[in-house]
Amino acid sequence: MKWKVEIGPCEIIRIAKDIRGYSWKSTIHPPRGHILLVHGLSTYSLFQWLRHSPPGEMEERGLYYSSSLVEILNRLGMNVYAIDLEGHGLSTHHEKPTMYMTRGLNGCIDDIQHLLDIMRQRNPQLPIIMIGHSIGSLLILRTSQQLREQHKEKDVSGLIMIAPFIGSNHSVRFYQPIVKIGGFFYPKFIVTNGMKNSKMNQRVTGSIQLPPNLAARCRYPGLMIEKWASIDQEADPLVHCPYSPIYIGLISNIFEQVHKMNRLLQKSKKHAPFLIFHSPHDPICPYSSIVEFYNNSNVSPRSLVSLSDCLHNPLIEENTRPHLYAEITDWILVHLKVSIHISKNGRMGDTLS
């Protein structure tokens, strides 16, 4: 099968030694703001944020800038930046291409902050909104929190989280002490050889009962994306992470960051406003943990949008993508007016200008 990639007017950015990012300039001048996109595990920026071919078009599969979230944001007046996390996409280790996130989430947060520095150097006066998917949502939350600890709270004015991994169900919490001990003494212990190991993933997700219409769209229980999207995953040469090993040290670090994030979020109201999209049928990030996170949060304003007709990646799934695009652009337009009002008056407030 042929695989085609049209990335549009894109600039490849060198963020660090082995870390690469992307930049698409606003089609409106002057631009209204910056957007930073952060993907999750087992994918990379172009696969996550560009438009995939419609499911029926199997001959010309690929990724396209036209009508993608990136192009829509550019037409909205936003400069769009994205990062390939360590070991994903263009940010691969030349010596060990199957290794990723060897520095844990702390290393990813450092890389995100480096990209934020580049964005501020180019247009220091523009507001910044970060958008993350899955683990990417946890990373943008922790980045925002660390910036506020560094007294740089004005650097990020809003967060949009899609299917965020910011909590876990009670059965997973039972294993967290074991994972912590294992991560300390045996950080390179392989928990799974990647998403190709369907038996492992069926054990992880087998207790989740999906509605028949959603279950019919899955390729198999261990790969919780639509059948056509999983074919794209195999066709794209830069999607190598699904077949990479996942170490217990990384899982332990993820749990640690989730704990720190929740503790700080409950402790202080001084956090960026956020918008969450999540599905009650998400097999990776339990909906109950998202509701718990939302209710315990002291952040204002905040919003939670429930997406019932999708699994873990509504940006790729055809049924939810148009609705998601509309919700994101509406929130950004409203939030940009709030940000401009705050900037002009030098104080916090929700009144629109």
Confidence at residue 49, expressed as pLDDT on a 0 to 100 scale: 96
Do 261 and 166 meet the contact criterion of CB atoms below 8 Å apart? yes
Reply yes or no on whether the pLDDT at 325 is more than 90.
Answer: yes
CATH class of segment(s) 3-345: alpha beta
Confidence at residue 56, expressed as pLDDT on a 0 to 100 scale: 61
What is the SS3 assignment for 267?
A: helix
Q: Which of 150-154, 173-177, 222-226, 246-250 has the lowest mean pLDDT?
A: 222-226
Distance CA 94, CA 282 (A): 34
Distance CA 216, CA 318 (A): 14
Query: Where do we find the tokens 């699994």?
Result: 311
Q: Which of 73-87, 154-168, 238-252, 304-318 has the lowest mean pLDDT?
A: 238-252
Confidence of residue 160 (pLDDT cuts 50, 70, 90): very high
DSSP states of 161-216 as a string?
A: EES------HHHHHHHHHHHHHHHH-TT-EEES-TT-HHHHHHHHTT----HHHHT
Do 232 and 112 meet the contact criterion of CB atoms below 8 Å apart? no
CA angle 192, 38, 190 (to 5 degrees): 15
Distance CA 70, CA 172 (A): 35
Distance of CA 316 to the CA centre of its chain: 13
Do 151 and 157 meet the contact criterion of CB atoms below 8 Å apart? no
In this structure, what token pair is assigned to residue 125? Answer: 């006066």
Distance CA 33, CA 115 (A): 15
Residue of 188 and 21 predicted with greater confidence? 21
pTM of the predicted model as reported, rounded to 2 decimal places: 0.86
Span 315-341, mean pLDDT?
82
Confidence at residue 64, expressed as pLDDT on a 0 to 100 scale: 93
| CB-CB neighbours of 195 under 10 Å | 21
Reply yes or no on whether the pLDDT at 310 is more than 50.
Answer: yes
Confidence of residue 231 (pLDDT cuts 50, 70, 90): confident
Span 267-287, mean pLDDT?
82
Distance CA 83, CA 121 (A): 17
Confidence at residue 281, expressed as pLDDT on a 0 to 100 scale: 84
* CA gyration radius, the chain: 19
Confidence of residue 6 (pLDDT cuts 50, 70, 90): very high
Confidence at residue 321, expressed as pLDDT on a 0 to 100 scale: 85
Span 263-284, mean pLDDT?
81
Question: 27-60 as b/e, with b when 16 or more CB fall inside 10 Å?
Answer: eeeebbbbbbbbbbbbbbbbbbbbbbbebeeeee
- The one-letter amino acid code at 53 reads S
Q: Where are the domains of the chain?
A: 3-345
HSE-CB for 319 with a 13 A CA cutoff: 14
Beta strands in the chain (DSSP E): 3-6, 10-14, 20-24, 33-38, 51-52, 61-64, 78-83, 128-133, 158-162, 190-192, 218-220, 223-226, 246-247, 274-278, 302-306
Confidence of residue 315 (pLDDT cuts 50, 70, 90): confident
The mean of the pLDDT values for the chain is 79
Q: Which of 93-107, 185-199, 240-254 has the lowest mean pLDDT?
A: 185-199
Do 271 and 80 meet the contact criterion of CB atoms below 8 Å apart? no
pLDDT in tens, 24-74: 999 999 999 999 999 998 889 999 999 988 766 655 788 999 999 999 999
Span 300-316, mean pLDDT?
87
Do 332 and 116 meet the contact criterion of CB atoms below 8 Å apart? no
